[in-house]
Amino acid sequence: MWGSISKFILKNRFLLLITIAVITAFMGYKSKGIQLAYAGSKVLPLTDSTYVEYNRFKAKFGEDGAVLVIGMNDPKIWQKDAFNDWVKLSNEIKSIPGIQEVISIGRIFELKKDTANRKFVLGTVINGPLSSQTEVDSVKQKILDLKFYDGLLYNSKNGATLMAITFDKKVLNSKERGPIVRSIDKAASAFSQKNNIELHSSGLPWIRTKVSDKIAKEFLLFLLLALATTGLVLAFFFRQFHAVFYPLLVVINGVVWALGFIVLFGYQVSLLLGIVPALIVIIGIPNSVLILNKYHNEFRKTGDKMHSLAIAIQKVGPTALLANVSAAIGFGVFSFTHSAILEEFGHIASINIIATFINSIILVPIIFSFLPAPSTKHIQHLEGKALKNFLNRVEQLVFNHRRSIYIVTATLVGAALFGVVKMKANGYVVDDLPKKDPIYKDLKFFEKNFDGILPLEVSIDTKRKNGVMNASVIRRIDKLQQTISAYPEVSRALSLDEVLKFSTQAFYNGSPEQYRIPNTMEQAFILSYAGKSAGKGAGNMLKGFLDSTKQETRVSFQIADIGSEKMNILLNELKPKVDSIFPSDRFNVKITGSSLLFVKGTDYLVKNLRESLLLAIALISVIIFILFRSLKMNLIALIPNLISLIVTAGIMGYFGIFLKPSTILIFSIAFGLANDQTIYYLTKYRQELSHEGISISKAVSLALNETGISMIYAAGILFFGFGIFMASNFEGTMWLGLLVSITLLVALLSNLILVPALLLSLEVYNERKTVSEPLVVMDMDMTEAED
């Protein structure tokens, strides 16, 4: 079959070039529509109960992660000029299109009782610039008396204060959010510089915008680094311009296809999809290396350029195809996780790995068919003394010290397994960012001064109309929020009860001592007033906390980024406490919010790690069985790559690298790529063993010397290629690059040392048997026996 494919490619060079050029032009045109992802990552399946409950909550009460906060802890804010500038900044930000509301100590609202109309009027405390420091001091005391805002806008214990900026839901998760955030940053920076007050920004809109900006920068950075790194490795190996430039041109063509596919599938560039172009370069280049190595090897023997290219397609084609299918499986298994972000990544990566292989097997031979034949200097890399000496030492080790190999391997695996036991699953919302990153540092400011800013919501369904307005239910809500707020990681609540306390204070003309829940006699009056509240930004004050039937209410908290492990402990502790306050037979209480969605997403992905890895192992095992039709060969092929995964998992355990959304990718990806080396070696071994009179020992030696250099070349490109991800601003991406590189290095050594040793051990216990014909027959020719 591959003989026919080889002839077709070389006989139809112009037709194939034109066809690929047209496809690339189309993909390039489509790629102009590529967009960044602006919403939070869709990790959980759409049918997951946590995700369903979260969407139900949003439909009833609105977005929970729509607030950007700007905070400070500086007494200079209460100086007249600085305070007036803060007032000005608050109003300036409110005037930005796409901003729904701004609340701060410079733009704060109070309730006043309108006895004539039996309603509360909500108005601003500050209506213009303050003319004196005395006036500022008076306003300060008035603000501090408004207990509703204590813990929300200011912290009376440490003096910190913040500005809460609510986004219009129409722009919250769209590309318009970026310019709005940049406008806010610009205005805040001007205030900071003028008044010498350090400001801190956070909140999900701000975090997501800044992360999107980093993704956009790294999207291009990693592509350029991948091209530069693989280009340098190619230059080091081949020392020829053509062998560097044209393989890079081929993978750039693959990158254009990948971008086009992202748009055709209707996806947006997330943190994962952002690294796909670099992955295409890193994984695609080894195809060219194998083809060029075989081409140069054949040309050295025959001196016939076209014949050598034909042989290169025939011999490399089937092996490279299976290797690329193995790599695609490592990514493709994520398509079965039912997690949108992983499905998108799996689809695009797996499809384009195969697409890049097709590009390579067609374009590389065609391009080099038009170029001059390689000179003696160009094929000198095949005689590299360093690599030859290394392979000779490996061969001596394999043939003379197999027992030592097994002992060292067993010791390494044992030590790694001890590390595996130490592995923990734990994810944070921003733990993929370095501790010195402004996003991380600012988040910690709000956790220190306001107990966090990540949304945590509780919905309470009383199961009957007007049930929320019952006095006993209101008392239960108060007890619930006190119970939850007692945790140091959780802020004070914002709820119907707090609105009623605010209303009671207003009913008694703003007396701070009256910030309390109204008693049974007061409740009817105060509720009637609150229900008819009016004024700037007011509307019905109760509307944001009640559904239309007053059957269900929300209690909103802010929580610190404590990690999924602690969050699960907290949730488990809260459940019996919540049930004791709201018995499940009378109430339906659900804890939800963006922070819970992230935690459950982490748990879901960790749970699916085992399933995706087992699926990858099963599918790759089928490929190896198709290739060799031998269970023993299947076992030999799996052992070295499973060992490399165990070593990687052990390293994670020893160094405290958590299993989380960004690191669980490592295992399936690394396993798929590591198997490439195994397929290269075992395919050559099978070919050699099929020749008459060739013993297992001889086949092992010939395969090691024939494929060893190509394996080292390919592994070297992958090792240094994945190493570029260590330059990422995201720790998860950095760990992905480092750990996959380590896995591939361990896999290379295992495939060069352990696999040949295992094959030789077969010869000790079994006489050589007739080699089973594979289900997929690969073209052979007699020149192979001369290698």
pLDDT digits (tens, 9 = 90+) for 144-157: 999 999 988 999 99
Q: Which two tokens stand for residue 114?
A: 């309108």
Is the pLDDT reported for residue 779 higher than 50?
no
- Convert the pLDDT of each residue in 661-717 to its tens digit: 777 778 888 888 888 888 888 888 887 877 777 888 888 888 888 788 878 888 888
The more confident residue out of 481 and 611 is 481
Q: Could you give the CA distance from residue 707 to residue 716 in angstroms, rounded to a whole number?
A: 14
Task: Over range 342-362, report the average pLDDT.
Answer: 93
HEC secondary structure over 29-96: HHHCCCCECCCCCCCCCCCCHHHHHHHHHHHHHCCCCCEEEEEECCHHHHCHHHHHHHHHHHHHHHCC
| Residue 287 vs residues 312, 372, 722: alpha-carbon distances, Å | 11, 21, 16
CB 96, CB 188: distance < 8 Å = no
- Identify the residue with better confidence: 769 or 376: 376
Q: What is the pLDDT of residue 192?
A: 96
pLDDT digits (tens, 9 = 90+) for 741-769: 999 899 999 999 998 998 888 765 554 44
Arithmetic mean of pLDDT, 102-117: 86
Backbone angles phi, psi at 162, to 5 degrees: -145, 165
Q: Compute the distance between CA of residue 85 and CA of residue 77 in angstroms, rounded to an integer.
A: 9
Q: Are 364 and 292 in contact (CB under 8 A)?
A: yes
Q: To 10 degrees, the CA torsion angle through 663, 667, 669, 672?
A: 180
pLDDT in tens, 301-310: 888 899 999 9
- CA dist., res. 74 & res. 742, Å (int): 47
pLDDT of 539 = 41
562-599 confidence digits (pLDDT tens):
888 888 899 999 999 999 999 999 999 999 988 888 88
Q: What is the band of 541 on the pLDDT scale with cuts at 50, 70, 90? A: low
Q: What is the pLDDT of residues 41-78, one digit of tens each?
A: 677 787 888 888 888 888 888 777 789 999 999 999 99
Alpha-carbon gap, residue 501 to 74, rounded angstroms: 29
The confidence score (pLDDT) of residue 384 equals 64
What is the pLDDT, as a whole number, of residue 382? 64
Going by the DSSP 8-state scheme, the letter that residue 753 receives in this structure is I
Q: What is the pLDDT of residues 119-139, one digit of tens each?
A: 778 788 998 899 999 999 999
- Tracing tokens 């080091």 back to the chain, one arrives at 236
- pLDDT at residue 785 tops 90: no
Provide the sign of the torsion angle of the four alpha carbons 548, 551, 555, 561, taken in this order: negative
What is the edge-to-edge ordering of all strands in the sheet holding 99-103? 99-103, 161-167, 67-72, 200-202
**How many whole angstroms separate alpha carbon 328 and alpha carbon 741?**
17
Angle at 763 between CA 762 and CA 765, to 5 degrees: 70
Alpha-helical segments (H) within 437-495: 438-450, 471-485
pLDDT band, very low/low/confident/very high, at 540 (cuts 50, 70, 90): low
Both tokens assigned to 353:
């790995």
Q: Which residue type sits at 195?
A: N
Instruction: Report the mean per-residue pLDDT for the chain.
Output: 86
Task: State the greatest distance between any 2 C-alpha atoms of the chain, in Å, as a whole number.
Answer: 109
Contacts of residue 291, defined as CB under 8 A and 6 or more positions apart, other chains included, come to: 312, 313, 316, 320, 360, 361, 364, 365
**Is pLDDT of 537 > 60?**
no
Residue type, 623: I
Structural domains of the chain, ranges and CATH numbers in brackets: 2-40+209-421+598-786 (1.20.1640.10)
Q: Report yes or no: 515 and 148 within 8 Å, Cβ to Cβ.
A: yes
Would you list the DSSP string of 517-571?
A: ---HHHHHHHHHHHHT-EETTTS-TTGGGB-TTSSEEEEEEEE----HHHHHHHH
pLDDT in tens, 198-221: 999 999 889 888 888 888 888 888
Per-residue confidence at 431, pLDDT binned at 50, 70, 90?
A: low
Note the pLDDT of residue 418. 93
Give the pLDDT band (50/70/90) at residue 775. Answer: very low
Q: Would you place residue 531 in the very low, low, confident or very high pLDDT band (cuts 50, 70, 90)?
A: low
- What is the rounded average pLDDT of the residues 254-283? 90
- Average pLDDT of the segment spanning 347-355: 94
Q: What is the pTM of this model?
A: 0.79
Q: How confident is the model over 223-233, as a mean pLDDT? A: 89
pLDDT value of position 436: 84
Q: How many residues does the chain have?
A: 787
pLDDT at 85 over 80: yes
pLDDT of residue 575: 92
Could you count the other beta carbons within 10 Å of the beta carbon of residue 224? Answer: 13
Give me the amino acid identity at 396. Q
Token pair of 480, please?
């619930």
CA distances from 458 to 42, 565, 671 (A): 21, 20, 42
Residue type at 160 in one-letter notation: A
Per-residue pLDDT tens over the stretch 329-348: 988 888 888 888 888 989 99
Mean pLDDT, residues 218-229: 88
pLDDT band at 94 (very low <50, low <70, confident <90, very high): very high
Between CA 224 and CA 774 the distance in angstroms is 41
Is residue 636 a contact partner of residue 759, using CB atoms and an 8 Å limit?
Answer: yes
- Bridge partner list, 165: 68, 102
Torsion of CA 517, 518, 524, 527, to 10 degrees: -40
- Asked if residue 104 lies in contact with residue 217, where contact means CB atoms within 8 angstroms, the answer is no
Query: Does the pLDDT value for residue 417 go beyond 90?
Result: yes
